[in-house]
Structure 1
Amino acid sequence: MSSCPWTNKKEEGKETACVECISGTIHAGLPQGTIEPLYGLNTYIVGNRTNPRAIIVIYSDVFSHNLPNNKLIADSYAKSGEYLVYMPDFFEGDPLGLNLADVLIPTDAAKQSVLSKYGGLLAGMPGYLMWISRHGKDKTHKACVDWLQKLRRSDEVKGKKIGMVGMCWGGRFVFRAARSSESIQLADGKKVPLIDAGVALHPSNVVLPEDVEGLTVPVSVGWGEVDIVTPFKQKGQIEEIMKKRAEAGDPPPEMEHKVYTPGRHGFSVRGNPEDPAERKALEDSVTQVLDWFEKRL
């Protein structure tokens, strides 16, 4: 059975996700969760609230809750009934506007004309740069770490592990949350990492070696061969950093690297379900997450 949560068919009697201004770029489907305030951030919540085996936290791409695809991905992680899935709005009510979705990551790049591509970039760039200025590394890192600390210290997590998934913008913060420098001390005096395992899919803005120094929990990474935003060469750079760490007598945590072909940027979130290769990437990236957590949470 396919693990892909997206369909292009409208469910009878149900309203499917649709935004006309970027028609054709959003996957159809009705999200099953709810948005509720949690630890200071509006959070999309779906899954087993009674007795989950573990908790999965999603740090989405820049479109956050505005993009239905992100909610459908959370639903796919929760489908088995094993996990409680949280997707906080780490942009604190200020995600990037959906009007830029097709400009930055078109669903069907082959059909995007040069005029529409560069015309869209010119029109959208001022707004994009203003948004970037409001979400610098320090601010976004603090929002993420503060929320994870509250989750880790909460009663609901006692005896349960936390997995974190980050796509695009959020991928970098999986690495950062997995570092030993972010470990915290609990009320009982025990020092623990913020998360127990992570998955970073086409992570953007990664700074090496800074973002992977002191990794302390297992991390799986998904790379796209033709990703023009996330340099594919970073895969080899991270592998070399971990190799040198091991040679220095400091064994790194387990790491996995999966390569997607063709792997356009955003392949796990905004791939075209009507394109066989891109649909496979959508499905396989969900499987990558669930397989990794099945063994480590």
Structure 2
Amino acid sequence: MAFAPSLLTSLEALEAPGLYAAVTRAYHLARVAASYAPFAYVNTAAAVRARLYPFLRALRMKEAQALPLGVAGFCWGGYWCFQLARADATVAHPDAVGAEGGAEGGAEGKEEGAQSDAAARPLADALFTAHPSLMAIPTDVDTATRPMSIAAAGIDARYPAADVETTRAILARRTEESGTPHEVRVYEGCHHGFALRGSREEGEGGAEAEKQALAWFEGRFGELKV
């Protein structure tokens, strides 16, 4: 389930300055809330996990057996990028005995019948997220071990500057300790959603975030041996 494109008008109005924006803010807030309620109902963590993990496992067992696999997430999709970056977000290698069992990955741990770490492959080899939200900082960053690229908005109540810097410090330390590449880039002057909304005012930031994602995946996939 996705939001209607027309809802972008209300989202922008909630952050707009001026008297008119203040007077109409209640209307736009109600409109956003009315759309968010059914969205949240069908996109609980359990519901998303039940769709996302089997889909990625199926890719690993078929089309992506011999290909690198990347995942990009925006806003609350960024939370799932961090979950997929966990060391236990794996699937059994298709050549392993009993590979049909696979591994569930994530906080729930591995399914019964999962293979050893040596026989498992990550559900995602590299991840990119722009203006992520819903993460528990620093917990979700501490458990992220896969290559991660982050495009953070300079103005974002959902992922404030303090959390961005905490993320940067943790990932920089991990790169130093393990050699796993990570990057965090802040787009100053851009708001939450800048990489997707196509705002004329923030179009340059969105275009740069797209370049960041493409360069990241090209770089990581060139390093991988599958």
2:90 corresponds to? 183
The Cα shift of 1:152 comes to 1.2
When residues 106 and 144 of structure 1 are mapped into structure 2, their CA distance, relative to the original with a 3 A threshold, is: farther
Query: Quick one: percent identity of the two aligned structures?
Result: 26
TM-score by length of 1: 0.60
* Secondary structure of residue in 2 paired with 1:157: coil
Name the CA distance, whole Å, in 2 between partners of 1:115 and 1:286. Answer: 35
2:181 corresponds to? 254
Equivalent residue for 1:229, pick from 150, 158, 173: 158
Q: Deviations over 1:50-80 (max 9, x none)?
A: xxxxxxxxxxxxxxxxxxxxxxxxxxxxxxx
When residues 118 and 143 of structure 1 are mapped into structure 2, their CA distance, relative to the original with a 3 A threshold, is: same
Count of matched residue pairs: 198
Q: 198-207 or 103-112: which moved more?
A: 103-112
The Cα shift of 1:226 comes to 1.0
1:198 corresponds to? 127
TM-score by length of 2: 0.76
Determine if the alignment matches structure 1 residue 96 to structure 2 residue 25.
no
When residues 199 and 136 of structure 1 are mapped into structure 2, their CA distance, relative to the original with a 3 A threshold, is: same
2:212 corresponds to? 288
Structure 1 letter corresponding to 2:145: T
The Cα shift of 1:262 comes to 0.6
Q: Deviations over 1:129-162 (max 9, x none)?
A: 34323322222233221211111111x2232111
Name the CA distance, whole Å, in 2 between partners of 1:287 and 1:120. Answer: 32
Structure 1, unmatched stretches of 5+, are 1-93
When residues 270 and 239 of structure 1 are mapped into structure 2, their CA distance, relative to the original with a 3 A threshold, is: same
1:239 corresponds to? 168
Flag the structure with higher helix content.
2
Determine if the alignment matches structure 1 residue 272 to structure 2 residue 196.
no
Q: 129-138 or 251-260: which moved more?
A: 129-138
Equivalent residue for 1:220, pick from 149, 174, 184: 149
Q: RMSD between aligned alpha carbons?
A: 2.6
* Secondary structure of residue in 1 paired with 2:178: coil
When residues 245 and 196 of structure 1 are mapped into structure 2, their CA distance, relative to the original with a 3 A threshold, is: closer
Name the CA distance, whole Å, in 1 between partners of 2:23 and 2:121. Answer: 52
* Secondary structure of residue in 1 paired with 2:73: strand
Name the CA distance, whole Å, in 1 between partners of 2:72 and 2:209. Answer: 11
Name the CA distance, whole Å, in 2 between partners of 1:96 and 1:199. Answer: 22
Determine if the alignment matches structure 1 residue 131 to structure 2 residue 58.
no
Name the CA distance, whole Å, in 2 between partners of 1:295 and 1:243. Answer: 18
When residues 133 and 238 of structure 1 are mapped into structure 2, their CA distance, relative to the original with a 3 A threshold, is: same
The Cα shift of 1:194 comes to 0.7
Determine if the alignment matches structure 1 residue 161 to structure 2 residue 68.
yes
When residues 106 and 260 of structure 1 are mapped into structure 2, their CA distance, relative to the original with a 3 A threshold, is: farther
The Cα shift of 1:289 comes to 0.6
Name the CA distance, whole Å, in 1 between partners of 2:162 and 2:91. Answer: 32
The Cα shift of 1:106 comes to 5.2
2:224 corresponds to? none
The Cα shift of 1:164 comes to 1.2
The Cα shift of 1:236 comes to 1.6
The Cα shift of 1:220 comes to 0.5
Name the CA distance, whole Å, in 1 between partners of 2:126 and 2:95. Answer: 22
Q: Deviations over 1:247-284 (max 9, x none)?
A: 9xx637221011102111111011422x3xx1210210
* Secondary structure of residue in 1 paired with 2:190: coil
